[in-house]
Amino acid sequence: ELSTKRVILDLNVRLDQRIKDYLEIISNVSDKLSLKSFLVGGCVRDLLLNIQSNDMDIVVEGDAIKLAQEVNKYINGEFFSYEKFRTATIKNEEIKFDFASARTEFYSCPAAKPLIEYSDLHNDMYRRDFSINTLAISLNKDSYGKMIDFFGGYEDIKIKRIRVLHPLSYVEDPTRIIRAIRFEFQLGFKIDKADEELIKNAMELKLFNVISFDVLKEELKLMFSHGSCPALIIMRMKELNVFKLIHPKISFNFSLDKLKGYFSCLKSEGFGNNLKEWWFLCILPIIYNILKSEDRFFKRKWKFTKKEILYVEKLKKFLFKFSRKRSQNIFKDFDLFETLEGIPSEIICFLKILEEKPLNDYVLWFEKNKNVFKPLTTGEELSNRSDVKPVFIGEILKNLKKEKFFGNISTYEDELKFINKFISEKS
Ligand code: ATP
């Protein structure tokens, strides 16, 4: 049984005074306009979990834009409204409020409407993904702080269970599968056993053809953005058989250890979830096997950015060269060495976990030796020399590296001799 009193206490204890002040404004204005308004969704869930949120969703039984306009007279924040969706946003440096009119489009039988108290709210909550996101807290004075729980969300939050509201939910919107996995990691919850079955069954259908890649991409970005171990997230995706959402032909065979190796390499190189392409680096082990054959698909459907396309191109170019040269002495091939040198270090982290031989030996050898071939002479040193024309600096450095690569020179003195010879030949 939900205790209204307890939730009122929660509201007062858990919210910052500033946020309470804002909610009081919304409460007063709702009463003045005779509109029912509720705090809903993720922020109520977070409130109950003691996670501070300053991104709050308000559902209004009535005109949300009108309520928001009136509320903003007291807040004076930035104001945006979207007539088409009957929503409005108020934002300032402390808080963001999204106001939405309760949607009733799934209301199949209007005659039944008076039977449920808060029927508009009920319908709005029924459209949502998981029970844990369907809690509402009334903001009107006479019921301020009263929690409304149509689908057992309070209990699910208590036992940390992720559960959809009806069996076809995942089929209706497969991006919810990714959201479910995100909430497992973000909140430390667990997808209900029955839902795991629903997900697996949904994955048997050809959802791939109905999915919106734009939304899916945003959900993948969110899932990998909040700092949980991506290797564990990927293994969970594998367990639930959801790679098919990304592409039906994916074949994945990395172990958890390999993935962990990849992500700890990225971390040690300074790459993390603040990187714009982080989501790409996270799905790279998943899509690697079909990158070559489905290249155009990813560019078009997944709208890879310029940098993501560059990652793919460089990786493909190197793998292509490698496959052509593998029968020769790869450790003596300067062109191959330079191609790998031109690959961003984040992609090299990935190459390191590939188990294909002799590629794996080659990448490890490269990692060990790449600095050995670096000239001791710097570009700055060369540009300070009056006898070196600036146009030759790049060429000299490259040649020095090449000579070192082949073992023709090794010490700083060798380098000086080489440079002097180079200059005298050019002049
Ligand atoms: P967080 O703040 O951690 O991102 P959130 O629950 O606020 O969590 P949003 O993605 O901002 O997540 O979504 C806001 C609300 O919209 C959710 O609480 C959820 O009820 C609803 N929602 C979002 N995506 C879907 C979806 N695909 N299907 C149904 N409801 C959804």
ipTM of the complex: 0.96
295 in a structural domain: no
Both 154 and 93 in one domain: the answer is yes
Ligand 1 centre to CA of 382 (Å) is 58
Nearest to 164 by CA among 186, 149, 179: 179
Would 16 be classed as within a structural domain? yes
pLDDT of amino acid 77: 95
Whether 215 and 193 have beta carbons less than 8 Å apart is answered as: no
Specify whether the CB–CB gap between 267 and 349 falls below 8 A.
no
Domain-located, residue 298: no
Percent of the chain with pLDDT over 90: 63
Q: Which uninterrupted H or E stretch holds 57?
A: strand 55-61
Whole domain around residue 391: which residue ranges?
Answer: 379-426
Quick one: CA torsion of 317, 344, 329, 378, rounded to 10 degrees?
Answer: 130
Question: pLDDT tens across 4-61, in order?
Answer: 445 655 666 778 888 889 999 999 999 999 999 999 999 999 999 988 888 999 999 9
Test site for ligand 1: of 43, 99, 129, 217, most ligand atoms within 8 A of the Cβ: 129
Q: Is the pLDDT of residue 164 over 60?
A: yes
Q: Does 235 score more than 90 pLDDT?
A: yes
pLDDT tops 90 at residue 311: yes
The helix (run of H) or strand (run of E) holding residue 45 is helix 42-48
- Do 204 and 224 lie in a common domain? yes
Nearest Cα residue to atom 4 of ligand 1: 42
Q: Are residues 175 and 155 in the same domain?
A: no
Counted domains in the chain: 4
User: Is 299 among the domain residues?
Assistant: no
pLDDT score at 424: 86
Phi/psi at 213 (5° precision): -65, -30
Q: Out of 6-10, 264-268, 299-303, pick the least confident.
A: 6-10
Same domain, 147 and 239: no
> Does 88 score more than 90 pLDDT?
yes
- What is the per-residue pLDDT across 327-386, written as a single tens digit (0 to 9) for each? 788 888 999 999 999 999 999 999 999 988 889 999 999 999 888 888 888 888 888 888
Q: Write down the pLDDT at residue 255.
A: 95
Which residue minimizes the CA distance to atom 15 of ligand 1?
A: 41
- Which CB contacts under 8 angstroms, 24+ apart, belong to 259-265? 259/230, 259/231, 259/234, 259/235, 259/285, 259/353, 260/229, 260/231, 261/352, 261/353, 262/231, 262/349, 262/350, 262/352, 262/353, 263/229, 263/230, 263/231, 265/349, 265/352
- Tokens standing for residue 108: 């199949």
Residue 114 has pLDDT above 50, yes or no: no
Which of 45, 178, 179 for a ligand 1 pocket mutation test, highest count of atoms within 8 Å of Cβ? 179
The 3-state DSSP class for residue 82 equals strand
Does 287 score more than 70 pLDDT? yes
Residues lining ligand 1, judged by CB closer than 6 Å? 41-42, 128-129, 133, 173, 175-176
